[in-house]
Every structure is written in C-alpha cells, then in structure tokens.
C-alpha cells in the first residue's frame, strides 16, 4: 500500500560528498568527483578538476531519469554531467553546500508511467517554478520499495549561469509546504485512479492517532533483513508493531519482507486497472494533471483580477510617485553636495582670514623676541663692566678710564636699542614680556582653530564623497529607465536659479563633479549592485566609451570610461 515518506537533506563538501558522484550513483552512470549525482543515477560521470571518475553503472534499479529546467536556465544544463560540474565549479569553499536532495516514496499502486507523471508534476509545481533545476531518478528493484531521488540546485540561475544562493528555500515553512503538496498530489491521483488508500504528511500526534511511530530502516538494514539477518532497527520496528497491535487489539501476521519505512507491506489487492488499456490510463493521468493546472490557473486569474481592481486606478499615479521620489532623492543629494561645498568655502574663507593675521603676528612676535634678547644681552654686558670697574684698585687710573669708556658705549647702545624698540613695536621695553605672552596666546588660539577647521573639512569631505557616490549610483540607475528624460527634466525644474555670482560658481563646481562618474566611483557602485544591474551598467559604460571616442563629450554629458576591471 501507499505510504508517506519525504526526506530532505543537504549534499555538501563538509561531509566529503560530491554532487557529480551522487548523481552518477542515482543514474547508474559514470562521473568524476560529482559523486552524488553519479550515485543517484547509477551512472558513470566525470568530475572536472578532481580527475576522478565515479562509476555506478552496475548499481541497477534505476528505471527513469530526467532533468527539469526553469525557463531562464541554460539548455546545456539538460546534461547531468555538465550541470553538476557547473555546480562544483561555482562553489569555491571547502565546506560548500552543493545541492539539496529530496527522497520520496512512490505509491506501489501506480505503474512507472503514473509514478513519473505524478512526480514530474510535483517537481514542476514545488521546485522548478521557484527557480531550481531538478535532476530526478526513480529507483525500483521490484522489491516493493519504489522511490525517487530529486537533486535540486541551491542558487538562482539565469542565462549566464548560477548566481547567488536563495536562502528563502531553506525556510521551515517551505519544507512543510513541500510535504503537504506531496501528499495532496498523490491523494488526488489515487482518487482519480479508483484507489481507496490515502497518505498523510502529518505525524500520528497531529492526526490524533494513538500509535507509536517506527524508525526508518535504511538501505543497509533493509538488505540485511531481506537476507534473513536481524538488525537493531528491524527488531525495534517489530517491537513497535507488537506494541501498536496490542494497543489496537490486532493480531500480528508475520511477513517475510518490510517496506522502506519499516512496516510490513500488506498483501496488495487486485489492481482495479487490470484489463484496462495503457492509453486509457494515460488519458486519466493527463486529466488529473489538467485538473490541477486548471485549478492553479483559476486561482492565478482570480488573484490577478483582484490586483487589477485595486491597482488599476492607481497605476499611473504610482508611476508618477515613483518617478517623483527618484527626482526628489536626486535633488536632495545634489542639495547636500552644494551645502557641503558651501561649508568648505566658508572654512576656506575663515582660514584665509586667520592666515592674513597669523603670518604678520608670528613674524612680529619673532622679531620682537629677537630684539628683547639683544637688549637683555647688552644690559648684561653693561652690568658685567660695572662690576669689573668696582673691583679695580684705586691707583689703576688708566684701566679705569678704559672701562668707563666701554660702559658709556654700552649704555649708549642700550639707549639706541630701547628707542628703536619703542618706535618699531610701539611698546615700552618694560612691557615687552607681557606683549609677547599675549601674542603667543593669540598664535596658539589660531593654530587650534586651524586644526579644528581641518577636522571639520575632513568630515565634510567624507560626507561629500558619500553623497556624491549615492548620487552617481541613483543617476546611473535612472539612466537605464525608459522615463529618464522626464526624470532629468523634473530635476532641472526643481533647482532654484543661483542668486549670486558665488552661488553660480559653486553650482558649476557641483555640477561638474556630479555629472562625472570617475572610474573609482564606478567600481564602488558596481560592487554594491546586484549582478544583473552591474552587468548592464558595465555594458552601457563600454558603449558610451566607444561613442565618446568618435564624439568627444560636451558640457553636461556624463563622461564615462571603462574601468580597469570588474571584481564582484
């Protein structure tokens, strides 16, 4: 009978597994270091870069293999070896997660064709429509355990190949949705084909059933049990069966085999399709698929109709609001750029004013200090001569006359220097030290202001660079829009005309900086944008570069040159 089994796990390098080898096993094919893909397909596959061939062609039991692609995926990914080698190449970390594997038990009531139809429809609705590439294989050795392995890619895919990983697919709510949908599509098929049995994705507790769950046997324990070797898991499941039977008052009938979930498979009842032609069965399954498609289309049409009713009247206004927001944001950024330019201009003017005072004051202070030192030195020499004169003996008349002459000349020099000092600096020598202290304090104050202005200027320039980079980003993105002309016309209308010659000069400087995207800013911009937008901007910049070689840029046109490199 049909049972519910759906298991999801991650294939990653941290466990020593390979996407190529895993698929080779599941396809019974041959691969190299794509071990998981090779294992799943029971195939032989070659893994590029590791020089290892994974050969599982002798595995057997693989009755169907297929790859389903989203619309935007490259067609060459229909080859399993190409697909999983591309996955291995895209993942660079030694502990990368390579793929997601979903293992499901298939109803034994269905034949292979019906199992394939149901599985394909489930994969399309739950995985491929979300953007995943699905590589699936159906295993059936004829032992009553038909099941399927589905390997799913974990990154968004486009015409250029794999992009970023989509972490929305890792949410628990998505897994619960997958489990529920698998039960629903199988129950729908069982109903259409005339079977009374149903499967349920919920646990016994959620269903309100007082029954103890068994453990999953696994292929190793299953193989041993088939050979008559008792295993711990088999013994545990038999004990659970006994306890459930005692609880429900049912007698256990020994069976020679168990299914993959550990339950003994009951005797299969007569297939109601016996005697039915294969074509008729195919028509029934196609009708099932068509019914699900019609229901999904009806829900989608209803959702679109509701959306149109609400949004149609606001469509034009919404576009205008979006455009208006872009224009207002660009205008705000250009205004911030102008304000920062004015701030730098004010700081520059203050610095020039202080510089005009600072240099003369510093020169005056330096000269005054030099004259003070000179006068102090002359006064010291005069004092030394007088002390020497006092130490002479009374009868040293000739030597006394020479010293007196030197003292007179020293005093005359001091008087001349004092007179010059007063006339030069307009300060009495007695107050010279007070004046020097005052001047030094003023010099230190202006130096502090100079350092503060430098810090303020640095802060303004950092904000200026951030606003300029954001303006360039928004302008480049706006130029990709079909309504770019309206955007820039509105932006020109919002600007107030300059009121003075100074403001006109500052606006000219701001316009020149905002309308010129440097290579450095362009490299910063493309690193912050999604890959698709970055590629479009690079192509547009290359086109403008080629055009500017023929037509040199004129005033008002953004100068664009291809950057040295693009490193995402």
**Which residues touch 246 (CB under 8 Å, ≥6 apart)?**
none
Answer yes or no: is pLDDT of 263 > 60.
no
When comparing pLDDT for 265 and 510, which is higher? 510
Q: What is the domain partition of the chain in residue ranges?
A: 6-179, 215-268, 289-320, 322-465, 516-568
Mean pLDDT, range 452-458, rounded to an integer: 86
Hey, what long-range contacts does 445-450 have (CB within 8 A, 24 or more apart)? 446/354, 446/357, 446/358, 446/361, 449/350, 449/354, 450/351, 450/354
98 in helix, strand or coil? strand
Q: How far apart are CA 111 and CA 116, in angstroms?
A: 9
Q: How far apart are CA 515 and CA 77, in angstroms?
A: 43
* Residue that is written with structure tokens 């955007």 in the block: 487
Per residue in 135-152, pLDDT (tens digit) is 999 998 887 788 999 999
Two tokens, residue 73: 């995926």
CATH (one of 3.40.50.1980, 3.40.50.300, 3.30.160.20, 3.30.930.30) for 6-179? 3.30.930.30
* pTM across the whole model: 0.43
Q: Tell me what pLDDT residue 178 has.
A: 92
Burial of 51 (0-12, 13-18, 19+ CB in 10 A): exposed
Answer yes or no: is pLDDT of 133 > 90.
yes
Mean pLDDT, range 476-483, rounded to an integer: 79
Per residue in 212-237, pLDDT (tens digit) is 777 777 667 777 887 888 888 888 88
């Amino acid at each position: 009978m049909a049972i519910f089994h759906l298991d999801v796990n991650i294939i990653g390098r941290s466990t020593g597994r390979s996407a190529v080898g895993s698929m080779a096993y599941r396809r019974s094919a041959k691969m190299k270091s794509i071990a998981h893909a090779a294992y799943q397909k029971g195939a032989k596959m070659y893994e590029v870069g590791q020089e290892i061939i994974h050969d599982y062609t002798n595995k057997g039991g693989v009755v169907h293999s297929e790859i389903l692609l989203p619309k935007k995926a490259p067609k060459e990914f229909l080859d399993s070896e190409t697909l999983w080698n591309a996955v291995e190449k895209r993942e660079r970390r030694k502990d990368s997660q390579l793929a997601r594997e979903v293992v499901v038990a298939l109803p034994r009531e269905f034949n292979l064709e019906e199992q394939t139809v149901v599985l394909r429809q489930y994969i399309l609705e739950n995985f491929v429509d979300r953007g995943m590439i699905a590589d699936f294989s159906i295993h059936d050795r004829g032992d009553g355990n038909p099941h399927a392995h589905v390997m799913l890619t974990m990154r968004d895919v486009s015409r250029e190949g794999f992009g970023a990983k989509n972490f929305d697919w890792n949410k628990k709510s998505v897994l619960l949705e997958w489990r529920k949908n698998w039960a629903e599509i199988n129950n729908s098929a069982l109903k259409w084909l005339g079977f009374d049995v149903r499967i349920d994705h919920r646990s016994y507790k959620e269903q309100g059933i007082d029954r103890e769950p068994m453990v999953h046997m696994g292929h190793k324990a299953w193989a041993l049990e088939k050979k008559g070797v008792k295993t711990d898991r088999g013994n545990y499941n038999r004990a659970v069966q006994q306890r459930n039977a005692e609880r429900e008052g049912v007698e256990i009938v020994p069976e020679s085999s168990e299914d993959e979930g550990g339950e003994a498979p009951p005797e299969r009842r007569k297939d109601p399709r016996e005697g039915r032609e294969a074509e008729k069965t195919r028509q029934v399954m196609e009708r099932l698929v068509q019914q699900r498609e019609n229901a999904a289309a009806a829900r989608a049409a209803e959702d679109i109709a509701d959306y149109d009713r609400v949004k149609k009247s606001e469509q034009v206004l919404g576009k205008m609001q979006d455009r208006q927001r872009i224009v207002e944001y660009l205008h705000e950024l250009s205004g911030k750029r102008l304000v920062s330019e004015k701030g730098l201009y004010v700081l520059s003017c203050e610095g020039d004013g202080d510089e005009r005072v600072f240099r003369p004051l510093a020169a005056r202070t330096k000269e005054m200090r030099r004259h003070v030192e000179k006068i102090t030195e002359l006064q010291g020499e005069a004092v030394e001569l007088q002390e020497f004169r006092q130490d002479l003996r009374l009868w040293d008349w000739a030597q006394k006359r020479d010293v007196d002459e030197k003292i007179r000349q020293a005093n005359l020099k001091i008087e001349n220097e004092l007179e010059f000092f007063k006339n030069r600096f307009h300060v009495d020598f007695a107050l010279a030290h007070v004046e020097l202290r005052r001047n030094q304090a003023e010099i230190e104050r202006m130096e502090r202001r100079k350092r503060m202005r430098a810090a303020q200027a640095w802060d303004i320039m950092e904000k200026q660079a951030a606003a300029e980079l954001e303006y360039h980003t928004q302008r480049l993105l706006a130029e990709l829009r079909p309504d770019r002309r309206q955007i820039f016309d509105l932006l020109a209308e919002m600007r107030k005309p300059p009121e003075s010659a100074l403001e006109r000069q500052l606006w000219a400087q701001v316009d020149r900086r905002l309308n010129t995207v440097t290579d450095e800013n362009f490299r910063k911009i493309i690193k912050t944008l999604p890959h698709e937008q970055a590629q479009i901007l690079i192509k547009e910049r290359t086109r403008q570069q080629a055009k500017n070689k023929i037509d040199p840029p004129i005033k008002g046109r953004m100068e664009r040159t291809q950057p040295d490199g693009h490193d995402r």
